[in-house]
Structures are given as structure tokens and as C-alpha cells.
Amino acid sequence: MGKDHLSGNCMCGAVTWAYSGETIRNLVCHCTDCQRATSSPITAFLGMISKQLHWNGKIEHFESSPGNYRGFCPLCGTRLYFRSVRWPEETHVHAATMENPNDYRPDAQTFIRSRAAWLDRVKSLPGYEGFHTQPANPTDSKRKA
């Protein structure tokens, strides 16, 4: 990414992070564990040296599989990072928590064997600046019945 200082936060702002140094991984993960943990077909991570990463706020952890931990904000539920005993000196922070997520530039995809096939269709779907339909109105459907 080329930046020496990065920062970010959870959705509600109760947890913040700051990092000094170069990122060591910038990847998009398609594994089924990440899909389940984030309720998303892909998860974008920044690999950081743990001792150069500083957190403020309370963080809860879930051991998603033996030796693999996912940190999240207990107030808003934002997924913050992934840590593993396989990479004891690293923390893989979710790129969407960056102060400016548009600065993120992944350089690899992992576990592409689990990649959601429908992602190929996304570029061909119509795009909208907001929601493309109005919310369903339960009272209208009762009147029509």
C-alpha cells in the first residue's frame, strides 16, 4: 500500500486502530470461514505486524477454528481482524475498517476454489446510487388480499 501510517475504526467508533509501518499482505480471501464470519462472499485484509498495531476500545474474540481468532466490536458487531497461531507476529485487519477504504489495493486472492461463482456476474448487473426499490409495505399487501 505504500503508506507508513494507517488508521481505522468499527462502525460505531468504540474501537479504533492505528498502524505504523508497511503492510505485509493485502489480500482478498474467498475461504468459507471468512464467508461465514463476515456474511460476505469475500473479505479484504491488510496484513500487519502485530507489535506495530495499536488498538483502543474493547474487543471480543471468537475462536472460529483451533488457533484462529476473529476480533469484533461487542457494541456494533463490526469484524475487525483475523489472527492465527500460523502467523503469530501478524494481525490481518479488515480493509473495510480503514479510515479511507478506497485507499486499499489488494495484490492477491486466496482460496479461490471457494470463490462464489456469481461474483462473475456483478459487473454486468445494473448499478444504482441507492436502493433501487422502495421497502415493502406490509399494509399495502394486506389491503390487496
Could you state, in order of their start, the residue ranges of all structural domains in the chain? 5-117
Q: Is the pLDDT at 143 greater than 70, yes or no?
A: no
Phi, psi values for residue 95, rounded to 5°? -60, -30
Q: Is the pLDDT at 1 greater than 60, yes or no?
A: no
Q: Which residue has the cell 507508513?
A: 4
- Residue 11, SS3? coil
Please report which confidence band the pLDDT of residue 3 belongs to, taking 50, 70 and 90 as the band edges: low
Please report which confidence band the pLDDT of residue 15 belongs to, taking 50, 70 and 90 as the band edges: very high
- 5-117 is classed in which CATH architecture? Beta Complex (2.170)
pTM beyond 0.85: no
pLDDT of residue 17: 98
